[in-house]
Amino acid sequence: MPKMTFIAPDGTRKEVDAAEGLSVLEVAHRNKIELEGACEGSLACSTCHVVVGKDWYDKLSPATEDEEDMLDLAFGLTATSRLGCQIIMSKDLDGLEVTLPAATRNMMVDKK
């Protein structure tokens, strides 16, 4: 089974099993990693924003226009930012490393 590493904002690393076919968001949730995913992977928010390791970014499928639009809303956007719900694990991504941003911007919260 492929593995991947989540890096917390404080630098703490956690390597986990990442079954093929699951999104990085699903892998995070199955391993109790704090990655919000407010829209549950429906590409309607940017709360599952992750920063992909530079060695891995070019191995990913290119971001769609819809993903790019959502990334524009992400807090702490970088050149290697992606949405965790759009990265699907495969054998080719065995060893993937992603860093969790220090904060997220949840535009889906009902503001009263």
How far is residue 69's CA from residue 63's CA, in Å, rounded to a whole number? 10
φ and ψ of 3, to 5 deg: -120, 160
CB 46 within 8 A of CB 71: yes
Domain residue limits at 28: 3-99
Would 48 be classed as within a structural domain?
yes
Per-residue pLDDT of the chain (112 residues; tens, 9 = 90+): 999 999 999 999 999 999 999 999 999 999 999 999 999 999 999 999 999 999 999 999 999 999 999 999 998 899 999 999 999 999 999 999 999 998 765 554 433 3
Residue 108 belongs to some domain of the structure? no
- Residue 12: give its domain's CATH number: 3.10.20.30
